[in-house]
Amino acid sequence: MTDYQEYLNFLISALASQNKKQLVLSENTALVADIGLSSLEVMEFIEKIEDHFDISIPLNILPDVNTIGDLARKVRDLNL
Amino acid sequence: MLFDKFQTMANFQAELAARHVKPFGAVTEEILSATEGVVQGRRVILAGTNNYLGLSYDPRCIKAAQDAAARWGTGTTGSRLANGSFAEHQALETEIAQFYGVDHAIVFSTGYAATMGMCSTLAGPGDTILLDADSHASIYAGVKLSGADIIRYKHNDPDDLAKRLRRLGERASQTLIIAEGIYSMLGDVAPLRDIAAVKREYGGYLFVDEAHSMGVLGETGRGAAQAAGVEADVDFVAGTFSKSLGAIGGFCVSRHAELEAIRFCISAYIFTASSAPSIIASTRAALRIIVAEPQLRRQLWDNANRLYDGLKALGLPVGPTASPVVAVEMADRSATIDCWNALMQAGVYVNLVILPASPSTNFLLRNSVSAAHSSAQIDTIIAAYAGLVSAGLITPTNKVN
C-alpha cells in the first residue's frame, strides 16, 4: 500500500513541468493560488495522476482540494 | 465583495458596448420566415437558430398552437403533478414514446429541465456517472446535483470510456454513462456504435441526449443512436422540442418501466409549471411532420453539406465532417467579435460562442443550418464568410486562427 508521502512525492514530481514560477513545492503549495494552474492545466495534471495510479478521480472531490497535500490525501483515499 | 466575481463579465460586456456590438442577447425585432428576421435593426439570414427543419414557422404547427390556446387557454398555471397535466401533455407523451418505439416517456417544460432533471435523479450518492467531457451545461448541472461520483471521459473517446469503466471494477455495472448525439457547439457526432459496445462489455446504463440529433439523424429521425443502429443498447434518450420541433420543451423516453416511478422524483419536473397547451400542440404537429416528411431531413443535409463544403473550400477551420452545426474556430477573441460583427453587416446572423459554451479556449462562429434555407441563402452565408477572408479578418489556413 502506497502511503501519503509516496503520493505526495509523485504529485510534486508530476508538477515539475507545470511549475512555471519555479516554486519550491510542498504539501502546502496551492495548485491554483500559488502555482497558477489554469482549469485546463488542473485537468491535465489530474489525468497524469489517474493514468499513473490507474484510477479515476471524481470531479466532485475537487472543490475540497486546494493544496498538493489535499490532493495527495484524496488520491490515497481513492486507493484504499 | 459579493459582486467581485462578476467584474470580469461586466468588463467584457463594457468592451462589447464600446465596440457597438451585441452578440449576446441580440434582439430579434421581427421574424420574416423560419430563416429570415430583423435583428438589431438589420434584415438578416438566420444561420444560428437551431431551427433544423424550419418548423417554427410551419403553418400547421402555428394553427395547432392557435387552436390549443383557444381551447385550453394560454397556460396550465401548475405543475405536472398538480393541475398541469392536460390531455395534450399526456397525448404528447404517448406519441413521443411511440415515435421512439418504447413504452415510457416524460415531457418536461424545457430541454434543459429534461437533461438536468434526469441527470440529477437517475444516479445518486454511492453511484457513479461517466460523462463526456464536452457535455452540455444542463448535464453538468444535473450530475453536480446528483450526489453521485462524477467522472469525465475524453470527448468522443470510447477507449477512454472503457479504461474508466475497467477502473471501476464491479461498480461499472451500476454506472450511468452519458453521451450526446450531435454535440451542440462543434456539430460532431458521438461514436455511439463504439460507446454501446463498451457498455455491452462492462455494463452500466447508457443515457443519450439527442437534443441536436432528433429529427436530424436516423432513418426515421430518432437521432444518432438510430443512425448507429444501437438503440437497443440505449437505456434513456433525452431531447428537446426547441430545435427540430420548433417549439420549447424537453423529453425523456425509455424502455424501462421504472421511468414512471422516476418521474415522481425529478425536482425539475415536479417544481415547475408544465408547458402551455399551445406549445404542446405545436410540438405534436411538428412530430407528425417529422414522421410524414423525411424529405425535410434530406433537405437539411443537402444544405449542411453545401455550407460545410463552401466554408471548407474557403480554407476556414471547420470540423472534420459535415453537420447541421458548422462551427468556425478562432483563437483570438477580438478577431472573432470583429468577424461576427462583419457577418451581421453582411446580413447573416450566426452565434458567437465563448467559454464556457465553447468546449475549448477557442472562440466559435457557430452556424446552424435549416432545411428551410434556400440554396441561395446558403450561398449568401458562404459569400459573407468569403468577405471576412477578403477583408483580412480571418486567414484561410484551414487551421484555427
Interchain CB distance below 8 Å, B149 and A54: no
Residue B400 burial (CB < 10 Å; 0-12/13-18/19+)?
A: middle
Give the residue extent of every domain in chain A. 4-79
Per-residue pLDDT tens listing for chain B (401 residues):
899 999 999 999 999 899 888 888 889 999 999 999 999 999 999 999 999 999 999 999 999 999 999 999 999 999 999 999 999 999 999 999 999 999 999 999 999 999 999 999 999 999 999 999 999 999 999 999 999 999 999 999 999 999 999 999 999 999 999 999 999 999 999 999 999 999 999 999 999 999 999 999 999 999 999 999 999 999 999 999 999 999 999 999 999 999 999 999 999 999 999 999 999 999 999 999 999 999 999 999 999 999 999 999 999 999 888 999 999 999 998 999 999 999 999 999 999 998 788 887 789 999 999 999 999 999 999 999 999 999 999 988 766 66
- The strands making up B250-254's β-sheet, listed across from edge to edge, are B104-108, B250-254, B236-240, B205-209, B175-180, B128-132, B149-153
Rounded CA gap, B143 and B140, in Å?
Answer: 5
Substitution target in B149, B176, B361 with the highest count of A β-carbons within 10 Å is B149
Q: Which of these, B135, B139, B56, B48, lies nearest to B324 by C-alpha position?
A: B48
The nearest alpha carbon in chain A to B147 belongs to: A60
CB < 8 Å to B157, chain A? none
pLDDT one-digit tens code per residue, B348-358:
999 999 878 88
Q: Which helix (H) or strand (E) holds B105?
A: strand B104-108
Q: Report the percent of chain B where pLDDT is more than 70.
A: 99
Q: What are phi and psi of B166, to 5 degrees?
A: -60, -45
pLDDT one-digit tens code per residue, B261-308:
999 999 999 999 999 999 999 999 999 999 999 999 999 999 999 999
Average pLDDT over chain B reads 95
Q: Give the architecture (CATH level 2) of A4-79.
A: Orthogonal Bundle (1.10)
The nearest alpha carbon in chain A to B145 belongs to: A60
User: Which contacts of B81-85 are long-range, i.e. CB under 8 A and separated by 24 or more positions?
Assistant: B81/B264, B81/B269, B81/B270, B84/B273, B84/B274, B85/B274
Cell of B117: 432533471
Domains and CATH numbers, chain B: 7-46+294-390 (3.90.1150.10), 59-292 (3.40.640.10)
Q: How much is the ipTM here?
A: 0.90
The nearest alpha carbon in chain B to A54 belongs to: B167
Task: Yes or no: say if B47 and B350 are a contact pair by the CB < 8 Å rule.
Answer: yes
Outline where DSSP puts E strands in B220-267. 236-240, 250-254
Interchain CB distance below 8 Å, B150 and A55: no
Rounded CA gap, B293 and B290, in Å?
Answer: 5
| Candidate from B148, B151, B361 with C-beta closest to A56 | B151
Interchain CB distance below 8 Å, B144 and A60: yes
Rounded CA gap, B104 and A20, in Å?
Answer: 54
- Its pTM stands at 0.95
